[in-house]
Chain A
């Protein structure tokens, strides 16, 4: 049994496998299928100050090896989360990451202040492509990434801050650096890539929102490349995600420099994806005689 535990910004994860925001709710439903206490952590559905109803349906479509979604940040609001969902997650003894979004800089600061000290980490979603005011505006330019990060950090006394980066930008490494300069304790990436599927009979986009965020197995090579670029650019820890479906996928991100990984779409393809990935990491490390997962973090050597 290799040691799978990792420490990120002083937060202990019993293994580096974290449920990705928006695919796992607040954990209750998946816990009906397996004990989610086996996970390293969970990033919650994106929370906002007020409840949101989200986009019209259909909210999802498929491409080859990928899916597109445009849920549009439907969530019950941060107060309901704190009142009704947090205790359950605490009882599971896993690292709790609150994923948050807002319309304005004040929204981000306000929601961070409400969550400070109540969760293990906060993940700033400045990269949701599916709502006009979902924070994506802040996620594009390095200056605004730094600004919103600074505002969020200023509202936090206790809880470490992750900034989640959008891949739909000129340079994700530059934005990662901007987040670090703004005071981020950690960055996570990638959020979804903006895409479209057309219903040729109706000659309309299939998703009600017209465009949706592309995720799943097919985006993995792009995500690994971006994680690697960001790991070169910043000194703070990096959490990688995008298309991870098995332990070998997770290892690509870890070798490229990610301290931990998040798993999203794979939970739809197989509800047991995450426990299988954790088991797979264990056997891979054992088979390779590696005693601790941190030994292979960032060991990527480039060719030539």
Chain B
């Protein structure tokens, strides 16, 4: 992980309330793996905390290394980020966290993403594109206005099921239910998921109910202080242990049974 001033190359809306920002890294940075995140300054003096945002895509062309993040306008901090202009510099530490890693034997992969949780799933697809993995993606949005990157899921997955809460785009369903309905026919070797806590809880309950013991890795969200593992602000409980894990350093990706969700 490195502290650097990244330079904005692109920053604009891609769906209702969702912005995409692409920036260049001034220093050669290793380990920008899928499922890791950046902790980025929102660029004004009033907000002392940085915002943790998943790496959505990374790119290396000649000497230019770039990272793309996609963020939802939620509160004052992400609003401030959306006002940053091309050419502006923002302070950022990256890459952070452990990320999603697929083992060689894990060929059939189910991806489940809801809301802003779809962006780490995009990073997985891009990272493993052309490595012989077989992806089945189950992606949920609130409504048609929130839909973005559907083409990435369609083009890089063997099959992509895109659903919305209100049925205004694709079927009216949620990502977890869509996945569970197809589980028997797909039989994935591994499941990767990211989304709001209620979605991850539903997934955990669904797997348990059906006795599905396939390894399942989820990316968690928690409010952060330092973002690098020093302050113990961002913890979650380890299942069955009197012990906490740090979401920023030990995670954000955990085996679904390893932590309380």
Contacts and interface: CB of A to CB of B under 8 A. Distances in A.
B50 A268 contact: yes
A87 interface: no
A91 interface: no
B259 interface: no
B49 A270 contact: no
Contacts of A217: 45, 48
B159 interface: no
Contact of A59 (B3, B50, B77, B233): B233
Which of B226, B243, B244 has the largest number of chain A CB atoms within 10 A?
B226
Interface residues of B, number: 32
B56 to A, nearest CB: 23
A216 B50 CA distance: 13
A33 B2 contact: yes
B253 interface: no
Interface string A29-68: 1101110000000000100000001100111111011110
B48 A67 contact: yes
Interface residues of A, number: 36
A269 interface: yes
A272 B91 CA distance: 10
A57 B236 contact: yes
Given A22-B231, A25-B232, A71-B232, A61 B1 contact: no
A62 B47 contact: yes
Interface in B126-175: none
A71 B46 contact: no
Interface string A228-265: 00000000000000000000000000000000000001
Interface string A271-299: 11000000000000000000000000000
A26 to B, nearest CB: 8
B224 interface: yes
A67 B225 contact: yes
B235 A74 contact: yes
Interface in A51-96: 53-54, 57-62, 64-67, 69, 71, 74-75
A64 B195 CA distance: 29
SS class, residues of chain B in contact with chain A: loop
Contacts of A74: 232, 235, 244
Contacts of B230: 23-25, 28-30, 267
B41 interface: yes
B203 to A, nearest CB: 20
Given A60-B223, A62-B48, A62-B49, A30 B228 contact: yes
B249 interface: yes
Pick the most buried of B91, B223, B231: most chain A CB atoms within 10 A of its CB.
B231
A60 B226 contact: no
Nearest to A272: B3
A185 B151 CA distance: 66
A60 B49 contact: yes
B232 A64 contact: no
Contacts of B243: 53
A57 B231 contact: no
A29 B224 CA distance: 15
Contacts of B50: 268-269
A230 to B, nearest CB: 25
B87 to A, nearest CB: 21
A112 B97 CA distance: 35
Which 4 residue pairs spanning A and B have beta carbons closest together? A25-B230, A29-B230, A29-B229, A58-B223
15 contacts: A23-B225, A24-B230, A25-B229, A45-B232, A53-B242, A62-B47, A62-B48, A69-B225, A217-B45, A267-B230, A268-B48, A268-B50, A270-B41, A270-B91, A271-B3
Given A30-B228, A62-B47, A74-B235, 14 more contacts: A23-B231, A24-B231, A32-B1, A33-B228, A57-B222, A62-B48, A65-B45, A69-B231, A267-B226, A268-B226, A268-B227, A269-B41, A270-B41, A272-B3
Interface of A: 22-25, 28-30, 32-34, 45, 53-54, 57-62, 64-67, 69, 71, 74-75, 216-217, 265, 267-272
